[in-house]
């Protein structure tokens, strides 16, 4: 599925290339989320509480093969419904061009004049949808520049990690409260199908200024393994402690053959085995950062040992997420950290590799027992509409509604897979992408509006089933961030820089350039540099949200 | 840029046979006379104005608490607050400054002369064909972007790259070439030399070809050897261009390679690799401290101007032309 294939979780914090992808991914589960998806403006969460979230009206048109859960595990489908329903009667557009701006993680597709998919999309929308795409890593800079130049398009994805988002949206984005709050959203049934937990990320000062791109739990980062390669070596059992994992990695690494067990030091995975909190730990309204916990230092020591033992690719700190994926796919690494979204994507990228099979590790305790997975944010990012939209605002919302048509509808089938015979062929009722159409359909439209994610990979029932089962084993013990959706101005302004400094010390420690004790000083600097202020602001917002 | 001087009486039409006394023309008349030349210069002027001078106005955000969504006009004035990092010594800034100065020193003292030496070597090649071939090969790396160069270095010298792969498969210990903070400057310097030395020889080779060959013949008759010729003819012949390039180099000497460094920063850590340009980027664009970064950039620009002016003064003192005449 394209939305899977194109997903690459980037944030300001892992903006620096080559840092540990796992950490970067997991950072999303951390306090940054409050930066990505602030819950309220200066007034804190109290202001948010005043507003009314849009009603949640679940789309009941299709029955999943395996039902999703309240934990955020998505619905599972083995096959695409035989007769997809055309869910919307008329084209949402008004005949005039609509400009938009999104991030993308795919190669830039052919322009509209050479792109049959884009032309058909415009025809179905009833408006020319102009999309300006920017690679995800550069999007925050692009977004900041466009904002500074005051040239925001009609519809824009708010960059994750953008500064002062509440003030920015209040100054530049259309207020959607009247159209979406409470029962008003029923005019846009597919926006109403977006779960409430995601909507809180789009509320600022009690008003709705954006629509969220929901992701359920898919932004959580897990440790993948090459099940096919491990089985060939007779290894099927999951490691049940850190020591077991380390021994396994030592057994698998073969530097002479240019093969290492790990693509990078799995520092966040180790931290999760030690039950390090997901960003913050909350006790009686008091917050402790994950970096302040003694367990974090244990994790660093364990990570340092792993790197020193030579089970990690020596280029881990110089390489980027794309290279990690390559090593993993090429079998020169057995384990890699990535988000849940990557599960089906790896299968698509490994097309042609006979017997390719992956699975994910559960999260064991460091010394046996159970660890706790850091559950990622339920919201990928938010999308806003230009304040100058005027009467066209409803048109834009209808376009967004169309773009959020859920799995099972004809609109969804077209949106993700294109036109039968041109972009995909039917195998049974499943769309199988054709080489000729590949690349045309990835316009970044999933970042303008999207339906809740489902687990579905055409013709790969076992794969989605395995993922669903792993999720059900791991997620009940997982930890959500206690500050999800809470906003701290200092976090937004200085969090990225502070995090970068910590990360730089962390990388030094992992590579043995500094002693683990250096962490204490780094955390002290973090606290005095703004960490304590972030904590205070988040605690205040937390108290307000509970009141 | 007057064509007046090239007009030689009598005119082709032979209307006048005696040189006319130069009448003072008005500004507009001169403009009109030179309109073609001006038209040629115009696109360049527009580009220069738009992207070098108009853009300078943006420096005003060094004195503001700039917020992109407010825009330049609406953002609050903060006076010299943004310059605090410079005067109160933010440790990260000082670290970046120190790294920058070390790199500037290395690049000026060690990297700058390399193309001169290479140009002299090339010049001493007798076969024109071999010379052309060598030149072409040496020019090539200049046209590769830093992304490609860094990728090539990673494939060759990375922890799992070709060299280390070879070492390991023969039972030797692998070398940490790209991830070693202690040798990072040496790595940067060798990359710069590999990439740009060939290209840098062009101007020197042009200058070498201008040296009158009769001078060499004359000294040869007087019994001067190769070294004496080099010292008394070749180097003095190159002196003007060397000084000119050195002054220009000083002007942007604090720009020590943004792309090259940011691409390799993760492997060695910020401590060893942060320079002013990456500091500005990491703080300004990534970290959102636009004002502070602009302040740093502004000061950097001012230092560059001062260096150029000072170097030019010194050049004049030594009787050279420098970049412009006093």
Instruction: Domains for chain B: give ranges and CATH numbers.
Output: 4-56 (no CATH), 80-317 (1.10.3720.10)
Q: Does the distance separating the beta carbons of B176 and A314 come in below 8 Å?
A: yes
Confidence of residue A359 (pLDDT cuts 50, 70, 90): very high
Tokens linked to A18: 């080559």
Examine the domain organization and report whether A351 and A385 are in the same domain. no
Examine the domain organization and report whether A167 and A86 are in the same domain. yes
Q: Does the distance separating the beta carbons of A507 and B286 come in below 8 Å?
A: no
Task: Give the ranges where A234-293 is alpha helix by DSSP (H).
Answer: 242-252, 267-273
Percentage with pLDDT > 90 across chain B: 25
Interface of B with A in 24-53 (CB under 8 A): none
pLDDT at residue A194, rounded to an integer: 94
Instruction: Report the mean per-residue pLDDT for chain B.
Output: 85
Examine the domain organization and report whether A186 and A249 are in the same domain. no
What digits encode the pLDDT tens for the residues A425-444?
A: 998 899 988 887 778 888 99
User: Which residues does chain B have within 8 Å of residue A508's beta carbon, measured at their own beta carbons?
Assistant: 269, 271
Examine the domain organization and report whether A276 and A234 are in the same domain. yes
Peptide bond into B10 cis (omega under 30): yes
Which of A427, A458, A489 corresponds to the end of one domain?
A458
Q: Does the distance separating the beta carbons of A318 and B266 come in below 8 Å?
A: yes
Radius of gyration of chain A (CA): 23
The alpha carbon of A398 is separated from its chain's Cα centroid by a whole number of angstroms, namely: 25
Answer whether residue A85 is part of any domain. Answer: yes
What digits encode the pLDDT tens for the residues A42-88?
A: 333 434 445 788 999 999 888 999 998 888 899 999 999 988 888 88
Q: Does the distance separating the beta carbons of A318 and B269 come in below 8 Å?
A: no
- Kindly tell me if the per-residue pLDDT of A33 is higher than 50: no
pLDDT at residue A408, rounded to an integer: 92
Examine the domain organization and report whether A210 and A141 are in the same domain. yes
The answer, for A15 touching chain B at a CB cutoff of 8 Å, is: yes
The number of C-alpha atoms within 13 Å of A331 and in the hemisphere containing its C-beta is: 12
Examine the domain organization and report whether A137 and A261 are in the same domain. no
pLDDT at residue B270, rounded to an integer: 82
Best residue in A314, A324, A524 for a mutation probing chain B (most B CBs within 10 Å): A314
What is the β-pairing status of strands A155-157 and A379-385? antiparallel
Per DSSP, the residues of B251-263 read HTTT---HHHHHH
Examine the domain organization and report whether A369 and A399 are in the same domain. no
CA distance A342 to A222: 10
Three-class DSSP labels, A450-492 = CCCCCECCCCCHHHHHHHHHHHHHHHHHCECCCCCCCCCHHHH
Nearest by CB: B267 against A15, A317, A496: A317
- Kindly tell me if the per-residue pLDDT of A422 is higher than 50: yes
CA distance B98 to B92: 10
pLDDT at residue B4, rounded to an integer: 46
Q: By three-state DSSP, how is residue A182 classified?
A: strand
Confidence of residue A328 (pLDDT cuts 50, 70, 90): very high
B304 by Cβ neighbours in 10 Å (0-12 / 13-18 / 19+) ranks as middle
CA distance A265 to A256: 20
Confidence of residue A23 (pLDDT cuts 50, 70, 90): very low
- Kindly tell me if the per-residue pLDDT of A161 is higher than 90: no
Examine the domain organization and report whether A363 and A252 are in the same domain. yes
Q: By three-state DSSP, how is residue A108 classified?
A: coil
* Tokens 């003192």 found at: B317
B144-173: b (≥16 Cβ within 10 Å) or e: eebeebbeebbeebbbbbeebbeebeeeee
CA distance A260 to A269: 17
Q: Does the distance separating the beta carbons of B286 and A141 come in below 8 Å?
A: yes
Nearest by CB: A315 against B92, B160, B271: B160
Query: pTM score, two decimals?
Result: 0.79
User: Which residues does chain A have within 8 Å of residue B266's beta carbon, measured at their own beta carbons?
Assistant: 16-19, 317-318, 507
Q: Does the distance separating the beta carbons of B267 and A167 come in below 8 Å?
A: no
The alpha carbon of A363 is separated from its chain's Cα centroid by a whole number of angstroms, namely: 20
- Which of A228, A155, A65, A135 is closest to A395 using CA atoms? A155
Task: Give the ranges where A221-341 is alpha helix by DSSP (H).
Answer: 227-232, 242-252, 267-273, 294-308, 321-330
Domain count, chain A: 2
The answer, for B283 touching chain A at a CB cutoff of 8 Å, is: yes
Confidence of residue B209 (pLDDT cuts 50, 70, 90): confident
What are the backbone dihedrals phi and psi of residue A19, each rounded to the nearest 5 degrees, phi first? -80, 175
The answer, for B147 touching chain A at a CB cutoff of 8 Å, is: no
Examine the domain organization and report whether A191 and A321 are in the same domain. no
Answer whether residue A33 is part of any domain. Answer: no
Number of Cβ within 10 Å of residue A463's Cβ equals 19
Examine the domain organization and report whether A94 and A242 are in the same domain. no
- Kindly tell me if the per-residue pLDDT of A372 is higher than 90: yes
- Kindly tell me if the per-residue pLDDT of A362 is higher than 90: yes
Answer whether residue A468 is part of any domain. Answer: no
Tell me what the mean pLDDT of segment A456-466 comes to.
90
Answer whether residue A318 is part of any domain. Answer: yes
Using CA atoms, how far residue A372 sits from A268, A271, A277, A362, A363, in Å, is 11, 9, 9, 9, 6
pLDDT at residue B100, rounded to an integer: 92
- Count the residues in chain B: 326
Tell whether the torsion through CA atoms of A166, A167, A171 and A175 is positive or negative: positive
A505, closest residue in chain B (CA to CA): B269
User: Which residues does chain A have within 8 Å of residue B282's beta carbon, measured at their own beta carbons?
Assistant: 16, 497, 500
What is the β-pairing status of strands A379-385 and A211-214? antiparallel
Examine the domain organization and report whether A147 and A265 are in the same domain. no
Q: By three-state DSSP, how is residue A91 classified?
A: coil
- Kindly tell me if the per-residue pLDDT of B149 is higher than 70: yes
The answer, for A259 touching chain B at a CB cutoff of 8 Å, is: no
Strand partners, B77: B64
Nearest by CB: B179 against A150, A260, A317: A317
What digits encode the pLDDT tens for the residues B75-101?
A: 888 888 888 888 887 788 889 999 999
Confidence of residue B19 (pLDDT cuts 50, 70, 90): low
pLDDT at residue A1, rounded to an integer: 37
- CA angle, corner B295, sides to B289 and B297, nearest 5? 100
B90, closest residue in chain A (CA to CA): A529
Domain that holds residue A139: 2-6+46-218+381-458
Confidence of residue B18 (pLDDT cuts 50, 70, 90): low
Answer whether residue A153 is part of any domain. Answer: yes
The answer, for A513 touching chain B at a CB cutoff of 8 Å, is: yes
The answer, for A330 touching chain B at a CB cutoff of 8 Å, is: no
CA distance A171 to B70: 8
Answer whether residue A40 is part of any domain. Answer: no
Q: Does the distance separating the beta carbons of B266 and A171 come in below 8 Å?
A: no
What are the backbone dihedrals phi and psi of residue A264, each rounded to the nearest 5 degrees, phi first? -155, 165
Find out whether B71 and A150 touch, Cβ atoms under 8 Å.
yes
Find out whether A78 and A464 touch, Cβ atoms under 8 Å.
yes
A496, closest residue in chain B (CA to CA): B287
* Tokens 């009690």 found at: A206
Examine the domain organization and report whether A392 and A421 are in the same domain. yes
The answer, for A490 touching chain B at a CB cutoff of 8 Å, is: no
Residues 6 or more apart from A95 whose CB is under 8 A from it? A126, A127
Return the higher-pLDDT residue of B202 and A385: A385
Nearest by CB: A258 against B67, B160, B289: B160
Instruction: Report the mean per-residue pLDDT for chain A.
Output: 86
Answer whether residue A86 is part of any domain. Answer: yes
**CATH number of the domain bearing residue A308:** 3.40.190.10
Answer whether residue A150 is part of any domain. Answer: yes
What digits encode the pLDDT tens for the residues A329-341?
A: 999 999 999 999 8
The answer, for A43 touching chain B at a CB cutoff of 8 Å, is: no
């Amino acid at each position: 599925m394209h939305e899977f294939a194109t997903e690459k979780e980037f944030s300001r914090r892992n903006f620096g290339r080559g840092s540990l992808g796992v950490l970067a991914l997991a950072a999303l589960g951390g306090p940054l989320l409050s930066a990505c998806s602030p819950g309220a403006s200066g007034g804190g969460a109290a202001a948010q509480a005043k507003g009314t979230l849009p009603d949640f009206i679940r789309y009941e048109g299709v029955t999943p093969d395996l039902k999703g859960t309240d934990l955020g595990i998505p619905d599972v489908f083995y096959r695409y419904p035989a007769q997809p329903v055309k869910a919307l009667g008329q084209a949402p557009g008004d005949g005039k061009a609509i400009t938009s701006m999104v991030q993308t993680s795919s190669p830039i597709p052919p322009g509209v004049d050479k792109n049959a998919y884009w032309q058909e999309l415009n025809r179905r929308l009833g408006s020319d949808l102009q999309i300006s795409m920017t690679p995800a890593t550069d999007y925050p800079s692009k977004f900041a520049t466009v904002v500074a130049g005051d040239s925001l398009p009609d519809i824009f994805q708010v960059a994750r990690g953008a500064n002062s988002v509440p003030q920015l949206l209040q100054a530049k984005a259309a207020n959607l409260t009247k159209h979406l709050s409470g029962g008003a959203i029923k005019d846009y049934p597919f926006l109403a199908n977006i779960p409430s937990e995601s909507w809180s990320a789009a509320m600022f000062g009690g008003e709705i200024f954006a629509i969220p791109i929901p992701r359920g739990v898919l932004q959580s980062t897990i440790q993948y393994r090459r099940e096919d390669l491990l089985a060939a070596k007779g290894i099927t059992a999951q490691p049940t402690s850190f020591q077991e994992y380390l021994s396994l990695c030592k057994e698998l690494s073969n530097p002479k053959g240019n093969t290492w067990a790990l693509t990078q030091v799995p520092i966040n995975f180790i931290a999760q085995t030690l039950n390090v909190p997901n960003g913050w730990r909350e006790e009686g309204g008091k917050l402790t950062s994950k970096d302040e916990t003694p367990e974090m230092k244990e994790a660093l020591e364990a990570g340092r040992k792993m790197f020193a033992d030579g089970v990690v690719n020596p280029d881990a700190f110089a390489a980027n997420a794309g290279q990690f994926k390559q090593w993993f796919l090429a079998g020169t690494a057995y384990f890699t950290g990535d988000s849940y979204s990557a599960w089906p994507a790896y299968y698509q990228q490994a097309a042609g590799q006979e017997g390719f099979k992956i699975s994910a590790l559960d999260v064991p305790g460091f010394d046996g027992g159970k660890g706790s997975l850091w559950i990622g944010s339920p919201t990928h990012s938010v999308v806003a509409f230009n304040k100058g939209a005027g009467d066209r605002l409803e048109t834009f919302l209808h376009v967004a509604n169309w773009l959020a048509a859920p799995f099972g509808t004809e609109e969804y089938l077209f949106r993700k897979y294109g036109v039968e015979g041109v972009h995909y062929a039917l195998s049974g009722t499943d769309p199988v992408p054709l080489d000729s159409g590949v690349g045309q359909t990835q316009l970044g439209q999933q970042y303008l509006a999207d339906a809740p994610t489902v687990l579905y990979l055409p013709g790969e029932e076992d794969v989605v089933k395995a993922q669903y089962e792993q999720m059900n084993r791991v997620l009940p013990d997982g930890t959500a961030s206690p500050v999800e959706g809470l906003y701290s101005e200092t976090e937004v302004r200085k969090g990225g820089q502070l995090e970068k400094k910590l990360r730089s010390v962390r990388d030094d420690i992992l590579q043995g350039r500094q002693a683990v004790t250096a962490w204490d000083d780094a955390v002290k600097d973090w606290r005095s540099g703004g960490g304590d202020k972030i904590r205070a602001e988040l605690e205040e917002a937390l108290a307000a949200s509970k009141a | 840029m007057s064509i007046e001087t090239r007009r030689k009486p009598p005119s082709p039409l032979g209307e006048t046979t005696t040189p006319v006394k130069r009448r003072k023309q008005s500004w507009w008349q001169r403009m009109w006379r030179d309109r073609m030349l001006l038209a040629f210069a115009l696109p360049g002027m527009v580009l220069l104005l738009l992207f070098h001078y108009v853009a300078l106005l943006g420096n005003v955000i060094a004195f503001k608490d700039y917020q992109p969504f407010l825009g330049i006009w609406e953002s609050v004035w903060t006076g010299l607050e943004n310059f605090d990092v410079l005067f109160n010594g933010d440790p990260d800034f000082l670290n970046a400054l120190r790294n920058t100065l070390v790199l500037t020193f290395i690049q000026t003292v060690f990297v700058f002369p390399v193309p001169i030496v290479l140009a002299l070597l090339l010049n001493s090649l007798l076969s024109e064909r071999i010379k052309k071939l060598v030149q072409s090969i040496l020019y090539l790396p200049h046209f590769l972007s830093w992304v490609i160069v860094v990728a090539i270095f990673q494939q060759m010298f990375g922890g799992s790259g070709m060299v280390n792969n070879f070492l390991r498969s023969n039972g030797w210990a692998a070398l940490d070439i790209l991830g070693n903070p202690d040798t990072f400057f040496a790595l940067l310097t060798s990359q710069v030399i590999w990439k740009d030395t060939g290209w840098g020889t062009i101007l020197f080779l042009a200058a070498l070809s201008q040296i009158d060959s009769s001078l060499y013949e004359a000294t040869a008759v007087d019994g001067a050897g190769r070294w004496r010729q080099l010292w008394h003819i070749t180097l003095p012949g190159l002196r003007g261009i060397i000084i000119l390039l050195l002054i220009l180099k000083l002007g942007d000497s604090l720009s020590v390679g943004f792309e090259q460094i940011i691409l390799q920063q993760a492997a060695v850590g910020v401590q060893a690799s942060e320079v002013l340009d990456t500091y500005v980027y990491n703080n300004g664009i990534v970290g959102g401290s636009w004002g502070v970064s602009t302040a740093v950039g502004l000061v950097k620009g001012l230092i560059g101007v001062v260096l150029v002016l000072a170097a030019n003064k010194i050049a004049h003192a030594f009787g050279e032309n420098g970049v412009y005449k006093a």
